[in-house]
Structure 1
């Protein structure tokens, strides 16, 4: 029997190692980690993911599949329910790190089966509800970005004019010192340093404030 951790991350700021650390802190002794990187649980079923589909090949009866929560398996109600039940039919036990839930197909007691199936349905529905909340937040973010663009947010007004910028860039090309340039253009040394450090950004700032 083996304990396999399945981890999924959809963004760059998430890490597989964090999910493994959480599992081990919860007392799981992980024999193997199967992970999908940069894969959305909203739009991609487990069986359609590069590593997710391997679980159906490597897991055997008596093995334990560990996930941080059921949303790692998917965020669609029907898909999550079908996935968990398919694993259980194969004798695989699914356990979650969060809340310490266990889904086991071994029980033959009708009442225990009913409670287990109700919990599966509830958790799958919660995963989909969270996914809908995420999509709504994304739509709101996109709408806000569009509104920002429409109002032509221009950033902070630069402390130099187009003529001063041109003069600074010319003198820099002639290897003039920062102090010399500041004195000649009437700008502060800090302004000259900013232009020198990122001339492209300085040009964009001037264009935003004609």
Structure 2
């Protein structure tokens, strides 16, 4: 059985390769043939992820989509998670999660595989919901922490990174030309693909304002 490995980390400071050896070992132990690996640094709250979309385009019915944990695949809203699930189902892929044993058994054919597939689907939905809630709680904690600091010191400002104006301008220029793909714009501008998607979204919001 063919397997496509998907590895994701949220930021450039995190290592998307971290779980690669674990997935390779799992695939070998389960007799899966790894046909490709897809790695990217982008938030799991975004449905449109270049490498994930490339995986879904390349995969064939009956192939395995192998991930380390559900939160590596999704921290999506309920609506976006439903869309992603439908995309996976429409391609006829088997979602296998290393830290979710029921997904391993769902690779089996026949009645046992079908029953475990239903159970596994329910568990994956639950874990996807928990991953999204964990993300929302983390964001809320950060927001509360910033509010407390501002209340204690009205002059305080976060020391976050300032936007690189040259990079921002270059991305807008190449997006406006419409001749390059998102990945090519990122390469030319010297930034991540996630940054290009963010700026494109901001451009759309400004246009619609």
Sort the TM-score into its range (normalised by shorter chain).
0.5 to 0.7
Q: 1:101 to 1:23 in 2, by over 3 A?
A: farther
Counterparts of 2:50 and 2:121, CA distance in 1: 28
CA deviation vs aligned residue, 1:34-61 (integer Å, no higher than 9, x gap): 1222x2112x11xx11212112211111
Distance 1:52 1:121, change over 3 A: same
Give the counterpart of 1:141 among 145, 161, 168. Answer: 145
- Distance in 1 of aligned mates of 2:36 and 2:138: 30
In structure 1, the partner of 2:53 is 53
Unpaired runs of at least 5, structure 2: 29-33, 158-209
SS at match of 1:95: strand
- 1:137 deviates by 2.0
Return the TM-score normalized by structure 1: 0.58
DSSP 3-state at the match of 1:51 = helix
Please point out which of 126, 137, 156 is paired with 1:122: 126
Q: Aligned with 1:137: secondary structure? A: helix
Q: Give secondary structure in 1 for the equivalent of 2:56.
A: helix
Query: 1:36-88 CA deviation, whole Å, 9 max, x = no partner?
Result: 22x2112x11xx11212112211111211111212222212332243234313
* Cα distance in 2 between the residues matched to 1:59 and 1:129: 29
Q: Deviations over 1:93-114 (max 9, x none)?
A: 1111223341669767885564
Q: Distance in 2 between matches of 1:17 and 1:142?
A: 32
The 8 Å contact of residues 65 and 95 in structure 1, kept in 2 or not, is answered as yes
Q: Which of structure 1's runs of 4+ aligned residues deviate more than 3 A?
A: 103-114
CA root-mean-square deviation: 3.0
**Correspondences of 1:194-205 after superposition (within 5 Å):** none
Q: Greater Rg, structure 1 or structure 2?
A: 1
CA distance in 1, matches of 2:152, 2:35: 49
Task: Note the C-alpha offset of 1:129.
Answer: 1.3
Q: TM-score, normalised by structure 2?
A: 0.58
Matched ranges for 1:95-134 at <5 A: 95-102=96-103, 112=116, 114-134=118-138
Give yes or no for contact 1:88–1:104 (8 Å, CA) kept in 2: no
2: distance between equivalents of 1:78 and 1:56? 19
Aligned residue-pair number: 148
Distance 2:68 2:123 in 1: 16
